[in-house]
Structure formats: C-alpha cells, structure tokens
Structure 1
Amino acid sequence: MGLLMSIFTWWEGATIGTSLGLRGKTRVGEDSLGNLYYSGGKDPNGITRRWVIYNGPNDASRIPPEWFSWLHHQIDEVPDEALPPMRTWEKEWEPNRTGTQLAYRPPGALEAGGHRARSTGDYEAWTPDA
C-alpha cells in the first residue's frame, strides 16, 4: 500500500495513525486469513483493549468466530489455547457472501428468475365483500 493510501484511506487496511497507535502493543496472534490481532492498554473501565488489523479490505465478517469471541472479551486466552479443537461435524468458517454472486437467493427471488412455486390451493384471497 502506498504512503498516500495509508494516510487518507481506512477501507484498504490500517492507516498510519492506527499503525502508530499500535506501537508498544502486544501482537497476540494471526488467523487463517492473515488478520493480525493485538492487545494492550486499558479503556476507562480497566478492560484490556484489543484490535484486529485486516489482511485486505476492512470487513468485519472476515473475522472467524473464535477470534470474534476473543475481540469481544467472551474468552480471555487466545483461541488456539482457550478453545477445544474443531469437531468433525462443524463446517469451516466462510465470509459473508451478501452482495456477491455467491449470495443465497431463495426460490422466487428476482435474481433467481422471479418464479416461485404455485400455491397448493389452500389459499383463498381476501375480498372486501366476503
């Protein structure tokens, strides 16, 4: 990322201000997407502050669930240490696909052709005279 981009744009990654603000903070870990997690300092309530620096566009749906739990103080230790291993029946995490070509479109959605299954005959439309 160029110098001007890091000064003026926040949507493409960490700005210079964020990078300078992370000086003296502890790098805690990295997730499978390459996002970096930091910890350090205290907020006015005495709770340790935690940050994520995205690898790529800033999109909160790109944080895996285990790291979301750590960021929001639902677990105290780093997810690799605090959580049990993934079970065989659990699916791998996926980013939010809303707004992309891979988004779910139910039958009848305009993007899926706009044709829904006909009703089975148990529906009777309301009329004001009835």
Structure 2
Amino acid sequence: MGINLNPFTWWNGATIGTWFGLRGKGRVGEDALGNVYYQGGSDTSGNPRRWVIYNGSNDASRIAPEWFGWLHHQIDDVPDRALPPAKPWQQPAVPNLTGTPLAYRPAGALGAGGKRAPATGDYEAWTPGD
C-alpha cells in the first residue's frame, strides 16, 4: 500500500492523537518487551493518570505483571524501585499466543495434525435399536 497508517490506526500502535496527548507527561520507565510507560496529570478521583505505549501491536497481554500493577495503582512507585528483585525460579511473563504458530494445541487438535490416542476399552458406541 505504501501509506504509513500508524498515525491513524490504533491497532498498529499509538495514534497521532495519543502522542499529542502525552506532551508534558513524564516517561517513567520501560519494560523488557520495549513498552514505554508514562505518568502525568490526574483523573477525576485525583489519582495520577498512567499510560503504556506498546512496542508493536496493542495487546494487553504483552504488559509485564509488575507494570500491570503499576498501571492499575496497585503499587505507587515504579516496579524497579517498589518491588523486590525477582526470584531465580520465576519465569518471565509470556504474552497470549492464541492465533500464532506458537499457540498451544493439544493432541487431537486440527492444528496439531488431528491425530489423537485411540479410545480405551471403556467406551461403547451407541447404536439405534439397542
């Protein structure tokens, strides 16, 4: 197509209106996926307004859990300062993979080949007239 639709389409990232709205707001941090977080002004309850600008497609499952808590005012300070360091056994958050080639497909699913284990001996097919 050759036209940059990003300034006009919300599903490809922040629109031009969002960028104008972020003027004067403070950038507070960035997560491991490259999403950038802003804070500034206040809402009708007096709480500070908080935003995320996604690095890539707008998908809420791509927000790290600690930043989700910050966005929803569950923690007051930036996660790097407010939360303890991650435990060595903790794994990084994974975005929702539904609709991608990496999505979970159990045995028997059409996307996984459609083959499933044969039924065990506890199943009897019903036939009419029995």
User: TM-score, normalized by length of structure 1?
Assistant: 0.85
1:98 aligns with 98
Identity %: 70
C-alpha distance in 2, partners of 1:125/1:43?
62
Kept after mapping to 1: 8 A contact 2:9/2:15 = yes
C-alpha distance in 1, partners of 2:32/2:129?
63
C-alpha distance in 2, partners of 1:109/1:95?
21
C-alpha distance in 2, partners of 1:43/1:127?
65
Q: Tell whether 2:24 aligns with 1:19.
A: no
Give the aligned length. Answer: 129
Deviation, structure 1 residue 127: 6.4
For residues 22-75 of structure 1, the C-alpha deviation after alignment (integer angstroms, 9 at most, x for no partner) is 112111111112111011122222222110011222221211111111111221
Q: Tell whether 2:45 aligns with 1:45.
A: yes
Structure 1 unaligned regions, length at least 5: none
C-alpha distance in 2, partners of 1:83/1:90?
14
2:58 aligns with 58
Q: What's the C-alpha RMSD, in Å, of the aligned pairs?
A: 2.3
C-alpha distance in 1, partners of 2:119/2:47?
55
Moved more, 70-79 or 114-123: 114-123
1:67 aligns with 67
Q: Which contiguous aligned blocks of 4+ residues in structure 1 show a shift greater than 6 angstroms?
A: 127-130
Structure 2 unaligned regions, length at least 5: none
